[in-house]
């Protein structure tokens, strides 16, 4: 059973400067909800109630968001605005939020290793909140991945096909479809942000993972890779060499809200689907 979800949220969000100078990227709203709240809701729908958040300097707004604001609650109690806090209040009541800080931003792999203290020795989910996933009226992406984990009991990465000229923005996998499936691959190679001519496929890893706890020891021994950062892809490759990584082509949509184009696309999509929410 997956009980904890890790949210690496310490990155600088430079693609959104100056908006992210004093505001965490994860707190940018799509309509009225910050990105990280969508992520927490997705984790809850996958049956997870412990949210482990890796923050950094200047990210305190995330902690305040998942806490009661007594003044505000008092102010709007009994007014027509009170229901606007219903969803976030329900999450606060339902979930436990734990935090640790990454003091040096040495990459996603390093952020995940920083979260070890919040996770311990159990398999766990990872959500990158700037990848906003949505599956219209059906099982959310992380819930689909929990089902895959329950079947194969190894690490699971969510993948989608990307245009060949965009492979240098993602971790790219190579692998073979598992017999009898059309969406589940046993991974045998992965490369971080390859140029199109070096990419082993156009199957890109997006910001949803289920990781087995041996990833922490592997990350501890992973040397800085592309960009001088400790890359999760390099650590996953160690697991993949032992046949211990499944790539799952999820059902649903993904918006890259870490970049302006994807953020605007998500906003337009959610606005036309749920006007006024």
Site for ligand UTP, rule CB under 6 A: 8-15, 25, 54, 102, 105-108, 110-111, 128, 130, 258
Q: Which residues contact 112 (CB under 8 A, 6 or more apart)?
A: 6, 8, 54, 126, 211, 215, 216, 219, 232
Smallest separation, CB 258 to ligand UTP (Å): 4
Which residue, 184 or 237, has its beta carbon nearer to ligand UTP? Answer: 237
- Residue 46 CB neighbours (<10 A): 22
Which residue, 51 or 184, has its beta carbon nearer to ligand UTP? Answer: 51
Tokens describing residue 258: 């870490």
Find the helix or strand (DSSP H, E) in which 237 lies: helix 232-241
Which residue, 39 or 184, has its beta carbon nearer to ligand UTP? Answer: 39
Smallest separation, CB 234 to ligand UTP (Å): 14
Smallest separation, CB 173 to ligand UTP (Å): 18
Smallest separation, CB 230 to ligand UTP (Å): 8
- What residue is closest to ligand UTP based on CB? 11
Strands 50-55 and 131-134: unpaired
Tokens describing residue 161: 């096909």
Which residue, 110 or 244, has its beta carbon nearer to ligand UTP? Answer: 110
| Beta-ladder partners of 25 | none
Separation between Cα atoms, residue 226 and residue 204, nearest integer Å:
16
Q: Residue 213: CA atoms inside 13 Å, Cβ hemisphere, count?
A: 11
Q: Which residues contact 21 (CB under 8 A, 6 or more apart)?
A: none
Omega before 2 within 30 of 0, i.e. cis = no
Helix axes 35-45, 86-94, angle to 10 degrees: 50
Separation between Cα atoms, residue 124 and residue 1, nearest integer Å:
9
Q: Residue 143: CA atoms inside 13 Å, Cβ hemisphere, count?
A: 16
Which residue, 11 or 140, has its beta carbon nearer to ligand UTP? Answer: 11
Which residue, 15 or 143, has its beta carbon nearer to ligand UTP? Answer: 15
Smallest separation, CB 106 to ligand UTP (Å): 5
Separation between Cα atoms, residue 250 and residue 142, nearest integer Å:
9
Smallest separation, CB 275 to ligand UTP (Å): 28
Which residue, 129 or 184, has its beta carbon nearer to ligand UTP? Answer: 129
Smallest separation, CB 265 to ligand UTP (Å): 16
């Amino acid at each position: 059973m997956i009980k904890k979800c890790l949210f690496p949220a310490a990155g600088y969000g430079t693609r959104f400067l100056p908006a992210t100078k004093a505001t965490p990227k994860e707190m940018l709203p799509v309509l009225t909800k910050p990105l990280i709240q969508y992520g927490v809701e997705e984790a809850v729908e996958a049956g997870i109630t412990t949210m482990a958040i890796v923050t950094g300097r200047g990210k305190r707004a995330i902690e305040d968001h998942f806490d009661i604001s007594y003044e505000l609650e008092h102010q709007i109690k009994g007014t027509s605005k009170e229901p606007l806090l219903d969803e976030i209040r329900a999450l606060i009541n339902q979930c436990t939020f734990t935090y640790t800080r990454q003091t040096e931003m040495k990459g996603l792999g390093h952020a995940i290793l920083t979260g070890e203290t919040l996770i311990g020795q159990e398999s766990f989910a990872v959500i990158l909140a700037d990848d906003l996933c949505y599956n219209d009226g059906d099982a959310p992406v992380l819930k689909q991945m929990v089902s895959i984990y329950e079947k194969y009991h190894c690490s699971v990465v969510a993948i989608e096909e990307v245009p060949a000229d965009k492979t240098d923005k993602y971790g790219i996998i190579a692998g073979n479809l598992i017999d009898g499936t059309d969406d589940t691959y046993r991974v045998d190679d992965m490369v971080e942000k390859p140029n199109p001519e070096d990419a082993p496929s156009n199957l890109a890893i997006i910001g949803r993972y289920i990781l087995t706890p041996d990833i922490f020891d592997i990350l501890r021994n992973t040397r800085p890779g592309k960009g001088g950062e400790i890359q999760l892809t390099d650590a996953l490759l160690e697991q993949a060499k032992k046949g211990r990584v499944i790539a799952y082509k999820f059902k649903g949509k993904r918006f890259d809200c870490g970049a302006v184009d994807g953020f605007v696309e998500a906003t337009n999509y959610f606005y036309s689907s749920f006007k006024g929410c």
